[in-house]
Amino acid sequence: MEILSGLVIIFIACIIIWKACDGFEDASGYLGRNMKGGVKGATIDAIGSSMPELFTTFFFLVLAGDAKGFASGIGTTSGSAIFNIMIIPAAVIMSVIVVNRKVQFININPKVILRDGIALMLAILCLIIFVSEKELDWYHGVFLMSLYVVYVLSLFFIKMDSEGDHEDEYEYEAGDGGRLAAFFKLDLSHAILGNNTMNSKRAWVLLILATSIVGASCHLLVTGCELLGDGLNWNTYVVALIFAAAATSVPDTIISVKSANNGAYNDAISNALGSNIFDICFALGMPLTIYTLFYDKTIIMSGGAEEMNFIGQFRILLLILTFLATVIFYVGAKRKKLGAKSGYFLMLLYVAFIVYTLAYTYNAPWLQGMQETLININDHLIHLNPFHKM
């Protein structure tokens, strides 16, 4: 019964997150309408579609607390990051090339891939090296958030040409029926705007309303994950790695596919990479800062050996898969041959990741050597931190 209840709650939360993020997308699309391709995808789109990860990580920390809560947050952000960098580009490629047959290959600016791919790998390395203490405090969260600020500032100083960009005019289409009916259908844009045109004031109201609903639905998502974990006898952070990660990545997928079908290929891919940078830096950093300051306590990791092993190996796995995906994107973009084969290979990598996660959950004997290798790499990188406590 717990398994069924957990799955139903996760499904409902996923639908609510998806619908609420449609409103967020309309608002952020208007507010970021004058941004260049690649910058909008990496900032406005990425932040908007990553709100679920931020709220989910926060609720995991509040409800589970300390090591298990932080491990669940790592599980959500890492799983979401792997989903984003594998499934979202694959979905974009399948939608544009295989389903709609608009083009044979997607044209992406390789400089955008290099910029965001390197920034993402640096963010993961900083997470591994500098946020691996036995006790985590507010300044660890501030450090992660500051990395994202540096990344965003760099976007406005690194000049890119227009390759892969498409000037897509912002356009809002009013829905049918009254505003109250629209609200209950979670058509937030129509509920706020009616038949009026979008302006800055209405966009901000829509943005705040959508964010509030996403936050509430993420609390529901965390509850569903805990029920499912109890029913399957899985640790909550493993459930978060698979189910919460996929559920919170639905908005990223929808936004990227829509951008790609409108011809904005840079935005479609940079949204996936930018979302991951936001997830690593803000979706972990902000909840960590708020939790430690509000409760006036540090997160004790030294007592959670299992949680530390989980965090260690999956962070390294995230780094490796991010490197592989970035190479695939860059080589494909450079040769102008990012096509269906790349999409199939990315999906295959994600399937391999899920198999690894399930094997980890059930302590598969053949996995032990690989786990030890990943944990050893993690430990080696941790010791590069001059402030690391032995």
Q: How confident is the model at residue 349 (pLDDT cuts 50, 70, 90)?
A: very high
The H or E element spanning position 135 is strand 135-136
Looking at the structure of the chain, the number of domains it has is 1
Q: What is the pLDDT of residue 137?
A: 83
Higher per-residue confidence, 389 vs 231? 231
**81 lies in some domain:** yes
Q: What is the arithmetic mean of pLDDT over 264-291?
A: 82
Q: What is the pLDDT of residue 42?
A: 61
Structural domain of 269: 2-382
Show the CA angle centred on residue 210, arms to residues 46 and 12, nearest 5°: 95
The H or E element spanning position 299 is strand 299-300
**207 lies in some domain:** yes
**390 lies in some domain:** no
Whether the pLDDT of residue 176 is over 70: the answer is no
Q: Which of 146, 143, 131, 141 is nearest to 381 (CA)?
A: 131
User: Each residue of 239-258: pLDDT tens digit?
Assistant: 888 888 888 887 778 778 87
User: Each residue of 83-137: pLDDT tens digit?
Assistant: 888 888 888 888 888 777 777 778 888 888 888 889 899 999 988 887 776 777 8
**387 lies in some domain:** no
Domain CATH code at residue 251: 1.20.1420.30
**Mean of per-residue pLDDT scores for the chain:** 80
Whether the pLDDT of residue 373 is over 90: the answer is yes
Whether the pLDDT of residue 174 is over 60: the answer is no
**388 lies in some domain:** no
The H or E element spanning position 175 is none
**345 lies in some domain:** yes
User: Each residue of 210-219: pLDDT tens digit?
Assistant: 888 888 888 8
Q: Any idea what DSSP says for residue 363? A: T
pTM for this entry? 0.83
**299 lies in some domain:** yes
**286 lies in some domain:** yes
Decide: 350 and 86 in contact? Cβ < 8 Å: yes
Helices 340-361 and 305-335 cross at an angle (nearest 10°) of: 170
Highest mean pLDDT among 66-70, 79-83, 179-183, 354-358: 354-358
